[in-house]
Structure formats: structure tokens, C-alpha cells
Structure 1
Amino acid sequence: MRFRLAFISLAFSTSVLAACSGTSASSSNESSATESSTTTELIATTSSVTTTTAKLPLSGKVIAIDAGHNGGNFAHSAEINQLVDAGNGVTKACDTSGTASNDGYAEYEFTLSVAKDLQAQLEAQGATVVMVRTDSAGWGPCITRRAEIGNDAHADIAISIHGDGNNAAGTRGFHVLVPQTTNVNAAIAPASNRFGTLLRDSFVTTGMPVSNYLGTNGIMPRGDLGGLNLSTVPKVFIECGNMRNATDASMMRSGTFQQSAATAIDAAIVQFLS
């Protein structure tokens, strides 16, 4: 009997120990699982990276580009010679045919090439670009409509691109035309003049010298240009060089110069709108 009781007691003790041992193992496994889960969550949290897209410098800005003249103007003399309001109490011709180099490279070709290069650069920087013309197939538009396009778009800045045609010997270089402070739209003069100065400073990087025959240090206020008088947004004209000067004309015909001209204008616009 004593032997039987001892055996039962021993068996009971063994069962209890086994049960205790089993409970301890289960708790340990649960603890390890919890720690493992926590560690995984921590790694997932710390490895998460927030990425942001950099804002383009001209996002939300509107720029109007007016490529001077047009390819069909020569064949539509009656239309472009009709008189329209120039905004200063007088009337002027709707548009003109523009100039050309001595070997026949037309101003309207040059202006559109620079305008398209500029458009591409501005759009790459986030701007909305409004083009007065995108080809050289038509005539005009009139100076009234050219100004109206920028006004209707509520452009932050408008620029009209040209090449000059002065026949006097030795005359060369670029100049920027800005509204007079007594202009009919005098409200746009301060901003236009500030942009004009930035543009002058930027355009010298093209290698084209500042004009030696018009303006002062490359800046020339004008009160007779309908494109400036009729504009309600800041606006300037740039004569990128004298197409009647062989040296200037050679540069202006070059795609490299046209690209650098667009880059210089783009840089001035970014600086002005920053």
C-alpha cells in the first residue's frame, strides 16, 4: 500500500511539473511572438520615407509670347495696312511685314524660332504659355489683337520678340523697349521697366552686344507702340539684334544663338516672377 501511494504521489508530481513546464513554454513563445511583431512594426515604421515633389519655378504662372510679324504679311498688304487704335490717341497700321537680313533671312522666321524655343523652356518649368502665333502661314494679327491675347490670358508677363532693321553703317546690338512712365497704361510701367532691366542684364550672356545706336545701356522707353500702349499686363519688346548688320545677322540665323536667346529670356522671366 505504501509503495502504491508513493508511486501515485510521484506520478502526480511529474504531471504537475510537466504541466508547469508546458505553461512556461507557451508564455515564452507568446512573448517572443509579441516582441517579433513589435520589432517588425518598428522596422516598417522607421523605413517608411515621405517623398515630396519639388515645385517647378514657374508653376501657376502665365506668360504670353508674341513672335513679331508673320509670313503672310507680304501677301496681305491691304489687310496689314488698315489703321487700328494704337492706344495713345492715334492710329497705326495693323501690322508690318518686318525686316530681313541682307541675304534674305526674314525677321518673322527668326522671331518664331526663338519663341518656340522659349515656349519649350518655360513649359518645362511649369508655366502656362500663350502664343500669339505658332506658325508663319497667316498674316497679322493686328497689334490690337496681339495685346489683347496677353490681356485676356491675364499673363504675369508678356514679351514681344523682334529683330531690328537699321541700315546705318556699323549699327549693331540688341535693345529692350519698355513702356514710358507717362504711358496711357502707366500702371504697367514700373513692373515692365523692372523686367526690361533684368532682360537686358540676362541677354548679354548670348554674346550679342548692347545696341550702339538706340536706347541707353540697352533700354529704350517708347510711348508710340500699340503693343505696349494697349497692354494691361507687364510687357516689353526685345530687338534681339540688327538684322541689317552682317555680324548680327549671322548670329541670329544660328540655331545656337536662337537657343541661347530663349534661355536668356527664360532666365529673366524666372528672376522677375520669383
Structure 2
Amino acid sequence: MGRHRPISAPTVLLVMSLLVVALIGGCGSSTSTAADRSDPALASEESTTSSSSMTPPTAPSTSSDAVPATESPTAAPTPTIAPHLPRPLSPGLAGKVIVIDAGHDGGNASHPAEINQLVDAGNGVTKACDTTGTGSFDGYPEYAFTLSVAQQLAGTLRAAGAQVVMVREDSSGWGPCITERARIGNEAHADLAISIHGDGNDTPGARGFHVLVPVATAQNATMVPAAQRFGTLLRDSFPATGMPVSNYLGTNGIMARGDLGGLNLSTVPKVFIECGNMHNGDDLALMRSAAFQQNAADAIAAAMGSYFG
């Protein structure tokens, strides 16, 4: 075997230096790789955050913000107004005395002292003489609607041979009081009387017509059965106008009322009709139209014809 040559000190120092450099270089490379390489969990979170901030969710939104700014809101459908189709009237109307009471009056609002005076309501209590009535939110008043229907009803009944008594002929006055409205029918010995109104109910979705019939008091007891019969005939006749039966008051379009002086004080058969809800957009669209007003008059006349046979 040959002898080993001794390693000089300078050579040892050189080798050791190279080893130290190699080790330092390896540590530096390892640190750099850790910085460039993401932890799988962190990488997933970053990816999700980035994606959700740039890509809108695919699920539909129920908020109004989901509607593009360029789209217009969908307009509510306009209710269908039935064309005016005159109804054949019973010959039984000829010679009958009919009192038509158009609700409220145009001067009521300017006569608060007069219409707020207390009068007998026929049920043991007193009530205001009259009220201003209701109307649409944009100013179409109940008293104008009721007079229009009343005038057209009067024309239809007169053409059928009836004798018509109007509680009011225009909208220039105030009242009359509920006591006077009942007295007019009583003194005319009316065969039938009707008070025409429009409602003003703010319950969401409340719409439709309803008929108000009396309950027996000391003064009206003898006429109540006849009034209730006419009320049923009117309820059955009125849907042909296109106005639905009330969904918020009454039962099947009929409501008995014991607090209305116009019914309590009447000795002749009398009912009220709320032709629709003027605070409901669909009802109001009908009530504003001339065709509906004529159809309402015809429906009332047809019910009267059926009543007299």
C-alpha cells in the first residue's frame, strides 16, 4: 500500500470555505422557494376572494338593484271596462216612485258648521248631519261620481216609465242632512230608494262593491225585508259592470248596517251601494270611466226591474 500524502493547512481551509458557501446557498434557495410557493389553504382563500370580487354571483337577486338601470318598471295592467250594453227593463217599473240619493254634495267641505251639526240617526244616538265623503288621492270627489251615476240612473228609469225623485240635482249645495234624505223618500211614499256612494278604504288590496242593507229599528222595521230582498238582487246584478264583489267588507257583497241614519229613518225600502273603492287604483280606473258609470246605472235599474217583476 502506498503512503497518504499529508493535506496541507491551506487546502483544508479552502475545502471548508467551499462547504460553508454551499450550505449558505442551500438555505437561501430554500427560503426563496417557500416565499414563491403558497400554502394550499391560503391559496384557496386568495383565489375565492379574488374571484368573488370580480365575478358577480350566479344566483338571482331579489333586490331592486338586480334590475338594470335601462329597464322600465312594468306598468300595472289597466282593468277591463265592460262596454255599455243597455239591459232590457221590466215593464214593472212603469208608474213606480223611485228615490235616488246621490251621496254627499259639492259644498259640504265649505260648510263645516252645517254638516257637523248633530241630528237623529234613528238608533238612539246622534250623528253628524252629513260628511264631505271620500275621493281619489288625485282629487276626483265621491260627490261627483255619485251624481253622475244618479243622473244616468234617473234617465234610464224615466225612460222605463218610473217617476223619479232626486235628492239632489247638482253639486252646488251642502247636505242635505241624513234626516232630510230619509224624509224625502218617506214623504214621496217611494216604492224603492237607493243611496249611491263610493268607498275610501286604505287597506292594501281592498277593492270591489258592496251593498248596505238595513237592520230593524222602531221606525224602519216594516221595510227591512223588502230592502234586504232588493239588496240581494242588486248584489247579483252589479258584477256585470266589471266591478268585483268586495273582498274587504260584507259577506258575498252584502253588509247589514244599523248605524246609518239614512236607513234607520227610512220607512220605505232603501239600500246603500258602495260602487267601488276610490282608494284602489283598479276600482278608481273603472269608476272614472263614463262607460262604467252608465253600466252601474243600468245594473241598479235592472235590479229594480227584477224587484218589481
1:222 shift after superposition? 0.4
2:177 matches 1:177? no
Structure whose residues are more often helix by fraction? 1
Question: Does the CA-based 8 Å contact 1:66-1:160 persist in structure 2?
Answer: yes
Matched, 1:64 2:99: yes
TM-aligned CA deviation for residue 182 of structure 1: 5.6
Structure 2 residue aligned with 1:100: 135
What is the distance in 1 between the residues matched to 2:177 and 2:216? 24
Is 2:145 the counterpart of 1:145? Answer: no
Alignment of 1:81-230 (within 5 A): 81-181=116-216, 184-230=219-265
Cα pair 1:82 1:93 within 8 Å, conserved: yes
Quote the residue 1:40 is aligned against.
Answer: none
Post-superposition offset of 1:183: 6.6
Q: Tell me if structure 2 keeps the 8 A contact 1:88–1:184.
A: no
Asked whether the equivalents of residues 175 and 238 of structure 1 are also in contact (C-alpha less than 8 Å), the reply is yes
Structure 2 CA distance for partners of 1:189 and 1:183, relative to 1, 3 Å: farther
Deviations 1:142-180 (A, max 9, x none): 000000001110000000000000011100000000011
Whether the 8 Å contact between 2:183 and 2:266 is mirrored in structure 1 is yes
TM-score, structure 2 as length reference: 0.70
Of stretches 175-184 and 60-69 in structure 1, the one that deviates more from structure 2 is 175-184
Match of 1:259 among 294, 301, 308: 294
Which letter does structure 1 place at the counterpart of 2:277? N
Unaligned runs of at least 5 residues, structure 2: 1-89
Task: Give distance in 2, aligned partners of 1:89 and 1:195.
Answer: 26
Q: Distance in 2 between matches of 1:171 and 1:242?
A: 7
SS of the aligned residue for 2:263 comes to: helix
Across the two proteins, how many residue pairs are aligned to each other? 220
One-letter identity of the residue aligned with 1:197: T
Look up the SS of the partner of 1:151 in the other structure: helix
Gaps of 5+ in 1: 1-54
1:38-89 deviation line (CA, Å, top 9, x unaligned): xxxxxxxxxxxxxxxxx94422210000000000001001100000000111
Deviations 1:84-107 (A, max 9, x none): 000111000000000001111100
Question: Secondary structure of the equivalent of 2:198?
Answer: strand
Correspondence for 1:73: 108
Q: Distance in 2 between matches of 1:56 and 1:93?
A: 39
Q: 1:185 offset after TM fit, Å?
A: 1.6
* 3-state SS of paired residue (1:186): coil
1:247 to 252, 277, 282: 282
Report the equivalent of 2:61.
none
2:273 matched residue in structure 1: 238
How far residue 246 of structure 1 moved from its aligned partner, in angstroms, is: 0.8
- RMSD of aligned C-alpha atoms? 1.2
| Aligned structure 1 segments of 4 or more residues deviating by more than 2 angstroms | 181-184
Counterpart contact for 2:97–2:192, Cα < 8 Å? yes
Taking a change above 3 Å as real, the CA distance of residues 77 and 62 of structure 1, as seen in their structure-2 partners, is same
Give the percent of matched residue pairs that are identical in Structure 1 and Structure 2: 72
Call closer, same or farther: CA 1:70–1:84 in 2, change over 3 Å.
Answer: same
Please tell me whether the aligned partners of residues 57 and 126 of structure 1 are also in contact (alpha carbons under 8 angstroms). no
How far the C-alpha of 1:184 sits from its partner, in A, is 4.6
Equivalent position SS for 1:191:
helix
